[in-house]
Structure 1
Amino acid sequence: MAEQLSIPAGVSACAEATTAKEAAFRIDYPLAATRNTRVIALDPAAEEIVRRTASMEWGQARFYSVTDPGLTLVTTAGESVELADALDDSNTVVLVSVDGSNAEAVGTIGAACKVRGIMTAGLVVTPGALTSEALFHLRPHARILLVPAEEDDLVELLRATRA
């Protein structure tokens, strides 16, 4: 018969975790601050998804749509912003596409992020379809690519990255 571990009555693993011996292994500094995430819709269908997501409570995330060639972004309030200005102080860019339009904008944004060392993620919102024009255009420019993504995957991605 296997030897059983003897734990004194009333002492649980949770109680042991509060001992000074176990406290030596705890991380004693706060989590990193929220990320300065930029979410960019690449086509009209993606813009609807981004608008719904933007209506939620976020830290430093900013939401945009784009048209070719990608040098100017449009906020959800309809204001135009130069791509370079939108990327200032950003450390994450999420590109959202449904139909694969605005291929030139994807290249422009991807190149701008690469030069600045900004992490890029792509969401190809094509439930049930593993291939699409969106995937074809995003693949070279997204370090992380979610395919096929659902609309709520954007929310989960932003939460996971502390946006």
Structure 2
Amino acid sequence: MFKKRKTTYHITDFKFKEGDILKVNDIMTSPAKSVRVNSTLGEVADEMKRLNVGSIPVCDDSNNLMGIVTDRDIVVKGISQGHNNGATVESVMTKNPITVSPETSIEEATNVMSHHQIRRLPVTDNGRLVGILALGDIAVSDHVADKAGDALSNISEPARPEM
């Protein structure tokens, strides 16, 4: 009988000493769920609902990151522009999304999230998707929870409708 390997960790599973630098690969979710470039908007919406997420990476068959799509992209760039559920995600995704590497410090990752106002950051290694760092992953870390709060404050700035 094979023993199932633990793939999800909580920050308390790790032992950090004062002064240790927490890196993205210490708390990212891996492997990351993704959709393919030729996935339809309907399939992507169903997958996002199943995973209970508001964005999902888009990869090619070799798991190279091609883009990211949000629920807002599907509505604003897709449905409101006349695309139906059968249109491909490639037509609405954000190409060349902001990413970090697994070795990026959490402090730098939160700065990136804050600066670009994003909550879920794809983690890549040589262009391949290896994980996702969500603001929630950072928030559960006793070592950097304050960074998550700062990032959330910047990400959640009130939007002003264009007149």
Give the TM-score category using the shorter length: under 0.3
Q: TM-score, normalised by structure 1?
A: 0.23
- Which is higher, the Rg of structure 1 or of structure 2? 1
